[in-house]
């Protein structure tokens, strides 16, 4: 299936506004993508408009923006094989649906090529100019044992490698996860299949309960060349794992180090789910928020391979975003809480009305948590302009259908607009 849709775009206030925020939205009748821009000095909303709306896009979710700002892609959840990716050309105002085997999940633009993982155990590279798949990796055939499905990707730009995490096994463990796969984007060759130690069998679920949960379950990836670290969160083990990046680039898992992110130091209870990056006095640090009832936020020093701070915060924060202009990290509170039960892992979501600022300080405890209250649940927080402003967008409301512009220093609200539907996801700002 291939559909082309013409969109009418009006030039925005490119000189006055901060970086554009693109977000997906859905109503009972349709779904689409919108663009929001605010003045980084005053918080005035200068542009808020739909770029794409279609009745077959009610399941629209993740969005990704190309580095050259020419293309935006979004996936459709629970849609398999046909019309599961929307590709927007932001220059000419057109969009098309693409057909990828399986259900499209994670999206990432690298050097203006779109990489998409699917539930069919495949990774696709799409040429957005042509709107065509130009390369496909079938991990069910290329890995031994067979790979279940890609979870997260990160680009190691220094080596031009793509690192891919494989989280869970298939239910009967025919296709295996708990591994990190490295792909050379120059040669297209898989050069590393780092199968992670399954050394906490007491935390695994038996096949008759849920055979997918039978390993550390790596999820969110980071690459830190400055500290020679390949970093990943380990969902089922409630921890983070770190290995030597130079060895990983050669296909070897070396100096594998696992650290709990739970407030009490236990394994299997924390469910580290969201990650942020922090630079402090020349050090690259990684901040991890847990999706457990106990919550907790861990500041990880990848050079030392240690958790240097545990901060007491509630569980289920959104992705931690940096606001360097204000020396803060910010996060919303969509309230995703996971727990172990005899029947498998439970996963509940209850957004709350408190969102978080983290003031950055010097010393061995660099983050000071500051909870702030709003009148309705705060689902996510995004900077208006990371390096020019202390303003952020709050996506709030019982239906996640409102945007507020607020100053993280003064806590003053500067602007408020109704979203075009319930907000699904936003693009990550550069």
What local confidence, expressed as pLDDT, does residue 428 receive? 77
pLDDT of residue 7: 44
- How much is the average pLDDT of 93-97? 94
Burial grade of 287 (CB within 10 A; 0-12, 13-18, 19 or more) = buried
Beta partners for 272? Answer: 290
**pTM recorded for the entire structure:** 0.94
C-beta atoms surrounding 21 within 10 Å: 23
Q: From the CB of residue 346, how many other CB atoms can be counted at a distance below 10 Å?
A: 10
Domain-wise residue ranges, the chain: 100-426
Cα 363 to its chain centre, rounded Å, is 28
Average of pLDDT values for 21-47? Answer: 96
CB atoms within 10 A of CB 422: 18
Give dist(CA 412, CA 75) in Å, integer. 35
Q: Long-range contacts for 84-90 (Cβ within 8 Å, ≥24 apart)?
A: 85/116, 85/126, 86/33, 86/52, 86/54, 86/57, 86/60, 87/114, 87/126, 87/128, 87/131, 88/7, 88/33, 88/51, 88/52, 89/128, 90/9, 90/51
Average pLDDT, the chain: 94
* Alpha-carbon dihedral angle through residues 375, 377, 379, 385, given to the nearest 10 degrees: 10
Q: pLDDT value at position 8?
A: 38
What does the DSSP 8-state code read for residue 203? G
Query: Tokens for 322?
Result: 């940096």
Mean pLDDT of 236-264: 98
Q: What is the DSSP string of 321-357?
A: EEEGGGTEEEE----EEEEEETTEEEEEE---SEEEE
Architecture of domain 100-426: 7 Propeller (2.130)
- The rounded percent of the chain whose pLDDT value lies above 90 is 93
The pLDDT of residue 6 is above 50: no
Using CA atoms in the order 372, 375, 377, 378, what is the torsion angle rounded to 10 degrees?
-50
8 A C-beta contact, residue 332 and residue 318: yes
DSSP 398: T
Radius of gyration (Cα) for the chain, nearest Å? 21
Q: What is the average pLDDT across 27-49? A: 96
């Amino acid at each position: 299936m291939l559909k082309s849709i013409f969109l009418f775009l009006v030039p925005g206030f490119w000189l006055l506004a901060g970086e554009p925020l693109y977000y997906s939205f859905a109503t009972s009748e349709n779904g689409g993508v919108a663009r929001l821009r605010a003045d980084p000095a005053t918080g005035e909303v200068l542009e808020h408009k739909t770029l794409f709306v279609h009745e077959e896009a009610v399941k629209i979710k993740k969005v990704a923006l190309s580095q050259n700002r020419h293309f935006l892609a979004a996936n459709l959840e629970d849609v398999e094989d046909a019309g599961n990716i929307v590709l927007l050309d932001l220059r000419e105002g057109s969009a098309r649906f693409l057909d990828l085997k399986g259900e499209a999940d994670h999206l990432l633009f690298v050097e203006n090529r779109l990489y998409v993982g699917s539930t069919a155990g495949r990774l696709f590279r799409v040429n957005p100019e042509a709107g065509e798949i130009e390369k496909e990796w079938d991990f069910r055939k290329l890995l031994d044992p067979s790979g279940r499905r890609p979870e997260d990707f990160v680009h190691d730009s220094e080596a031009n490698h793509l690192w891919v995490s494989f989280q869970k096994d298939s239910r009967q463990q025919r296709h295996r996860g708990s591994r990190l796969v490295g792909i050379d984007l120059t040669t297209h060759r898989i050069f590393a299949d780092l199968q992670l130690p399954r050394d906490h069998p007491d935390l695994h679920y038996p096949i008759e309960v849920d055979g997918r949960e039978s390993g550390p379950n790596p999820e969110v990836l980071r690459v830190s060349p400055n500290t020679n670290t390949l970093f990943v969160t380990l969902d089922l083990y409630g921890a983070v794992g770190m290995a030597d990046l130079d060895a990983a680039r050669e296909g070897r898992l070396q100096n594998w180090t696992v650290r709990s992110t739970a407030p009490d130091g236990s394994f299997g209870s924390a469910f580290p789910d969201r990650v942020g990056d922090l630079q402090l006095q020349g050090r690259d640090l990684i901040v991890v928020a847990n999706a457990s009832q106990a919550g907790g936020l861990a500041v990880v020093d990848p050079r030392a391979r240690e958790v240097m701070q545990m901060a007491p915060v509630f569980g289920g924060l959104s992705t931690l975003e940096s606001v360097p202009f204000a020396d803060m990290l910010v996060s919303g509170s969509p309230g995703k809480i996971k727990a172990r039960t005899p029947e498998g892992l439970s996963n509940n979501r209850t957004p709350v009305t408190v969102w978080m600022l983290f003031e950055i300080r010097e010393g061995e405890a660099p983050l000071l948590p500051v909870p702030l209250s709003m009148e309705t649940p705060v689902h996510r927080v995004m900077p208006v302009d990371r390096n020019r402003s202390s303003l952020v967008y709050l996506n709030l409301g019982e239906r996640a259908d409102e945007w507020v512009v607020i100053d993280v220093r003064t806590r003053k609200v500067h602007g408020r607009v109704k979203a075009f539907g319930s907000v699904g996801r936003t693009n990550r700002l550069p």
